[in-house]
A and B are shown apart, each in its own frame.
Chain A
Amino acid sequence: MIRPYAPVLLEIRDLHAAVDGQPILKGVNLTIRGGEIHAVMGRNGSGKSTLSKVLAGHPAYSVTAGSVQYQGEDLLALEPEQRARAGLFLGFQYPVEIPGVSNLEFLRVATNGRRAQRGEEELDTFAFEDLVRERLALVQMDPAFLDRSVNEGFSGGEKKRNEILQMALLEPLVAILDETDSGLDIDALRIVAAGVNHLAGPDNATLLITHYQRLLDLIKPDYVHVMAAGRILRSGAADLALELERTGYDWVDQELARLGLAEQPALAEVP
């Protein structure tokens, strides 16, 4: 939903970032307002996942230039946990398995951290169980997953549902979903997309990172951005994704050549 005067939630200005001294992001600019759904597309190695990790505060990535304002504050000055409590959410491409840590306990601690930040009272075990069962229905997840260790032994689809369950509990203002559609079958994709659509409202925003139109058939973006060589090369409306589906990325090379830029050799995808 585009409302030109809706408050700006996230403002990325000329963002440069590197991992192990290797520059990956080379000047990303992006403004996200309340109510908007953005999709970021691009080839492997174009910097999409790096952008999501930098925004979430992954310690392996260092910001070398630029700024990110989140609700008017300097996002980059915050620790990852402070960003999360303030309402920034990253849905992982590869959710991490944590043996021995109960999913239910993890979800409760995380939810209460966010609630405390919003001035809401913390939920005890019983109240939380009620809440989590209600939110489980949203992603059609078996309650048995609550009693297992975080993501341990979950299938790819179950892990992604668990990500959306976390999103449903944390009620973020800005949700970044990094290839949430990868590894999902059609049914799981529908469930996950329905969850995301349900949670999207006029006051929050979603940033989808994806390779495929099939996710965008289910979650209709207001804006589509194409990343290449660590920056956003082109932005457009939802039909830009359809055009990409038809034409592929060949034009990207021409565009980069025209700008005198070359794409970095794609880094191996880091889980």
Chain B
Amino acid sequence: MVAAPLSPQQISAATATVAAWEALASSPLPSRRQEDWRFTDASRLAAIEPHCWTGPDPFAGLVLPPGVSRLPADEAAALWQPLLLETGCDQHWPVRLNAGAEPARLALRIEADASPLASAALTAELDAAASRQLLAAQILLVLDPGASFELGLRLGAAARSACSVVVGAVLAEQASLTLALVASGHGDAALLAHLPVLQAPGSRLALSTVSSGWSFSRIEPRVLQQQGAAHTRLRGLQWVGEDQLADTHSLVRFDGPDGVLDQLHKSVADGNGRSVFNGAVQVPRAAQRTDAAQLSRSLLLGDRARIDTKPELEIVADDVRCAHGATVSQLQSEELFYLQSRGIARAQASRLLLAGYCQEVLRELPAAAAAWKPVERELQGA
């Protein structure tokens, strides 16, 4: 995070901070020797002292819509560990950290909607602000067969504060979940988010994540179609500028036939920013007739910005359609000239093109999440 060499005093302070993070996770900080963390330097967390949250319970006063109820703690606990195990993230460092950081908990059961016209919707905001604390939260959504739910989650932090969330969901047959995570950080703030989801056949997941402004962020959607035959739609947008690092590591696994994945991940990297995307798609022998498409598109705005993007397809089944692609480009000069030739100044033309670029992901956000105006600060400053 700091380019200049550290003084011995700074080094010892950083060592103490790292030790504090490791104590909370009961596990050493991920190292860049681990393949999953190759491009992502978790030691950046040393800039933040991880004091556990002492502020109000972020879920107090949440008004639940009809058909949505709180799940008793023992039922939630019984579902939580298998969810982490099955999606293969129970031992992940951010998940361990979350468990050790006294997370606020919210567990909801969503019944099949009495009214078929509208799905139940809820928004929640977790903002560590400039508290210099680590706000941790666990959210579990259990959707009954045929249930439909929409959750918008805003995450924020500033000035050496951090957010750690694990948002898990278990979708029964024919259930439908729209989950939007809008994460806007400021200054030296860090975000760690895991999103494990189990999908039964016939279920539909639409998961959108938008992150910007974090000094360090790591987002890991992990979706398991337990018997295939489900529909997974992933949309991601991350924007890095200055000296920021944003990393999205997604995993989608099909443990049965006829599953569908439609994934689009977009990055914008400016300044000294660094964007990392790793998209794993696992199609074992049982997953015949899987139809998976993954596209990673990155926009490199600065000379010193950096993009690492990698699809990671493991395909064993032979009767499948798995498309993937990755593009890295700059703003198109012909597009800029076209706008300029209509009297739009170059700076405004760039902003319009950038807004258009982000729009492909933003337009899929539920209205409540779009109202948080994700990446607006970045677009105005571009």
Residues of A within 8 A of B (CB): 56-60, 79-81, 83-85, 89-90, 92, 95-96, 98-101, 105-106, 109-110, 113-114, 117, 149, 166, 170
Within B303-340, which residues are at the interface with A (CB < 8 Å)?
332-335, 337-340
A95 and B358 within 8 A (CB): no
A110 and B355 within 8 A (CB): no
The verdict on A56 contacting B341 (CB below 8 Å), with A101-B352, A101-B353 known, is yes
Within 8 Å by CB of B334, from A89, A96, A105, lies: A96
Name 9 A/B residue pairs within 8 A (Cβ), A-sorted.
Answer: A80-B340, A81-B342, A81-B343, A81-B346, A90-B341, A96-B337, A99-B356, A110-B342, A110-B343
Given contacts A100-B359, A101-B356, A110-B344, 19 further A-B contacts (CB under 8 A): A57-B340, A59-B333, A60-B333, A79-B345, A81-B340, A81-B341, A81-B342, A81-B349, A84-B341, A84-B342, A95-B338, A100-B357, A100-B360, A106-B352, A109-B352, A110-B339, A110-B343, A113-B344, A170-B342
B91 close to A (CB within 8 Å): no
Instruction: Categorize the interface residue count of chain B.
Output: 20 to 34
Residues of B contacting A100 in the complex (Cβ-Cβ under 8 angstroms): 355-360
Residues of B contacting A79 in the complex (Cβ-Cβ under 8 angstroms): 340, 345-346
Q: Which residue of B lies closest to A83 (CB)?
A: B341
The verdict on A106 contacting B339 (CB below 8 Å), with A98-B353, A99-B360, A100-B359 known, is yes
The verdict on A113 contacting B343 (CB below 8 Å), with A98-B356, A149-B356 known, is yes
Residues of A contacting B352 in the complex (Cβ-Cβ under 8 angstroms): 98, 101, 105-106, 109
Within 8 Å by CB of B337, from A80, A85, A89, A170, lies: A80
Which of B334, B339, B341 has the most C-beta atoms of chain A within 10 angstroms of its own C-beta?
B341
B348 close to A (CB within 8 Å): yes
B338 and A109 within 8 A (CB): no
A166 and B353 within 8 A (CB): no
Within 8 Å by CB of A117, from B342, B343, B355, B359, lies: B343
Residues of A contacting B338 in the complex (Cβ-Cβ under 8 angstroms): 92, 95-96, 98
- Give min CB distance, B358 to chain A, whole Å: 7
Which of A98, A109, A117 has the most C-beta atoms of chain B within 10 angstroms of its own C-beta?
A98
Residues of A contacting B345 in the complex (Cβ-Cβ under 8 angstroms): 79, 81, 113
Q: Which residue of A lies closest to B342 (CB)?
A: A110
- Give min CB distance, B303 to chain A, whole Å: 18
Within 8 Å by CB of A96, from B335, B343, B358, lies: B335
Residues of A contacting B335 in the complex (Cβ-Cβ under 8 angstroms): 96, 98
Q: Which 3 residue pairs of A and B lie closest in terms of their CB atoms, listed nearest first?
A: A100-B356, A100-B359, A113-B343
Q: Which residue of A lies closest to B347 (CB)?
A: A81
Q: Which residue of B lies closest to A151 (CB)?
A: B338
Residues of B contacting A81 in the complex (Cβ-Cβ under 8 angstroms): 340-346, 349
Which of B334, B343, B346 has the most C-beta atoms of chain A within 10 angstroms of its own C-beta?
B343
- Give min CB distance, A240 to chain B, whole Å: 29
Residues of B contacting A80 in the complex (Cβ-Cβ under 8 angstroms): 337, 340-341
The verdict on A109 contacting B340 (CB below 8 Å), with A59-B333, A100-B359, A100-B360 known, is no
- Give min CB distance, B365 to chain A, whole Å: 14
When chains A and B are docked, how far (Å) is the Cα of A81 from the Cα of B340? 5
When chains A and B are docked, how far (Å) is the Cα of A101 from the Cα of B339? 11
When chains A and B are docked, how far (Å) is the Cα of A117 from the Cα of B357? 29
Residues of B contacting A113 in the complex (Cβ-Cβ under 8 angstroms): 342-345
A109 and B353 within 8 A (CB): no
Residues of B contacting A101 in the complex (Cβ-Cβ under 8 angstroms): 352-353, 355-356, 359
Q: Which residue of A lies closest to B337 (CB)?
A: A58
B360 and A59 within 8 A (CB): no
- Give min CB distance, B202 to chain A, whole Å: 32
- Fill in one digit per residue for B88-111: 1 if any A CB lies within 8 Å of its CB, else 0: 000000000000000000000000
Residues of A contacting B349 in the complex (Cβ-Cβ under 8 angstroms): 81
Residues of A contacting B334 in the complex (Cβ-Cβ under 8 angstroms): 96
When chains A and B are docked, how far (Å) is the Cα of A81 from the Cα of B339? 8
When chains A and B are docked, how far (Å) is the Cα of A92 from the Cα of B341? 10
Residues of A contacting B359 in the complex (Cβ-Cβ under 8 angstroms): 100-101
Residues of A contacting B342 in the complex (Cβ-Cβ under 8 angstroms): 81, 84, 106, 110, 113, 166, 170
Residues of B contacting A99 in the complex (Cβ-Cβ under 8 angstroms): 356-357, 360
- Give min CB distance, A208 to chain B, whole Å: 17
Residues of B contacting A89 in the complex (Cβ-Cβ under 8 angstroms): 341
Residues of B contacting A92 in the complex (Cβ-Cβ under 8 angstroms): 338, 341
A84 and B356 within 8 A (CB): no
When chains A and B are docked, how far (Å) is the Cα of A59 from the Cα of B339? 13
When chains A and B are docked, how far (Å) is the Cα of A170 from the Cα of B342? 8
Residues of A contacting B337 in the complex (Cβ-Cβ under 8 angstroms): 58-59, 80, 96
Residues of A contacting B346 in the complex (Cβ-Cβ under 8 angstroms): 79, 81
Residues of A contacting B332 in the complex (Cβ-Cβ under 8 angstroms): 96
Residues of B contacting A117 in the complex (Cβ-Cβ under 8 angstroms): 343
